Amino acid sequence: MAALIRMIAQRLALGVLTLFIVSVVIFFATELLPGDLASTLLGQAATPETVAALRRQLGLDLPAPVRYWNWLTSALQGDFGVSLANRRPIAELIAARLGNTIFLALYAAALAVPLALILGILAALWRNSVFDRAANAGALTAISFPEFFVAYILVLWLAQSGYFPSMVRISPVSTFGEKLYMAFLPALTLTLVVTAHMMRMTRAAIINLMAQPYIEMARLKGMSPLRIVLRHALPNALAPIINVIAINLAYLITGVVVVEVVFVYPGLGQLMVDSVSKRDIAVVQAIALIFASAYVLLNLTADVLSTLTNPRLMSKG
């Protein structure tokens, strides 16, 4: 038990360190900017006086480490400063959209995870069958498609015929059922893309396990293949499968960016794309920090969970 707690503490410490480094990279990337942020922002209107005034207003006259510290401490308290484009508080811009993005990602995950696990297990069970080959070819094709291609095919097929809306108009007063209906096409797009990856990885993990001697033993004593997979292979495959799920949930985080734009979904991804084209570095930094933290935290959770399901991994530390 003590070893377990120590392991978790170690991983958490490593995670915090990673988060710190990520925040440093995101913050100091702006320092790479050729020239000065204030004069870039002002463009034509840059006179020495206006530049100096804007520098003071943005806190650019302070040394970089001090600015980093101020940025990080206020970001941790939920204050991301103001947008450079429209001077509105960034926290306000993000708040409404963060919930929508999390909703979309969870919706897609709820569809994709069971689907991918069932398909992956069946493909491993009926290895080299027609089903396995078809599932593999389908997965390889889906991986090769850009997300917007999948999205527009679904629009052409399902929205054209009027089954589902091709634009998502979610307002704060929408009921849960309405939201599920509205967000179905974006969620389905993400599901198709993620399921392909997840299914291939699940299949590989199960096939890897099926070569183990204890599976051979179970087979020799006359167990049915389905029972072998469910009772013997699956519990031992949990660690790799948890990893697969985490990697793909992390993939969903970046996948939402394109899909949100296609369906005009009011989420963080769309805000980020808008801000990139306006070169609103403050907003982009804040959203990048949120996405990157979610990514790091997901990987950390997967790491801890898979170690818990497989005590042998612990000694590797």
Partner 1 sequence: MGWLFLAFGIVAAFGLAALLRRAAMQLAPTEWRSALADMPLTAAFGLMVIAIYIFVASAAPLLAPFPEREVVGSQFQPWSLQHWLGTDRLGRDMASRLIYGARNTVGIAFATTALAFIVGSLLGLWAALRGGWLDQTLSRFVDALMAIPSLIFSLLLLTIFGTSVLTLILVIAAVDATRVYRIARSVAQGIVVMDYIEAARLRGEGSWYLIRREILPNALAPLVAEFGLRFCFVFLTISSLSFLGLGIQPPLADWGSMVRENATLITFGDITPLLPAGAIALLTVAVNFVVDWQLYRASGLKEQAG
Binding-site ranges for partner 1 (CB under 8 A):
18, 21-22, 25-26, 29-30, 32-34, 140-141, 143-149, 152-153, 155-156, 159-160, 166, 250, 253-254, 257-258, 261-262, 272-273, 275-277, 279-281, 284-285, 287-288, 291-292, 295-296
Minimum separation from the CB atom of position 116 to partner 1 (A): 19
- Residue of 49, 188, 168, 182 lying closest to 111 (CA atoms): 188
- Report the nearest approach of partner 1 to the CB of residue 295 (Å): 5
Smallest separation, CB 230 to partner 1 (Å): 30
Phi, psi dihedral angles at 164 (to 5 degrees): -135, 150
Nearer to partner 1, 54 or 298 (CB): 298
**Cβ partners under 8 Å of residue 33, min gap 6:** 40
Between 146 and 311, whose beta carbon lies closer to partner 1? 146
**Between 13 and 25, CB nearer to partner 1:** 25
For partner 1, the closer of residues 113 and 284 by Cβ is: 284
The residue (of 119 and 252) whose beta carbon lies closer to partner 1 is 252
**Between 146 and 225, whose beta carbon lies closer to partner 1?**
146
Q: Which amino acid is at 239?
A: A
CB of residue 218 to partner 1, shortest distance in Å? 28
Min CB(41)–partner 1 separation in Å:
12
Closer residue to partner 1, CB minimum distance, 229 or 256: 256
Nearer to partner 1, 229 or 282 (CB): 282
C-alpha gyration radius of the chain: 24
Question: Cα separations (Å) of 177 from 106, 183, 191, 211?
Answer: 15, 10, 19, 45
Q: How far is the CB of 235 from partner 1 (least distance, A)?
A: 29
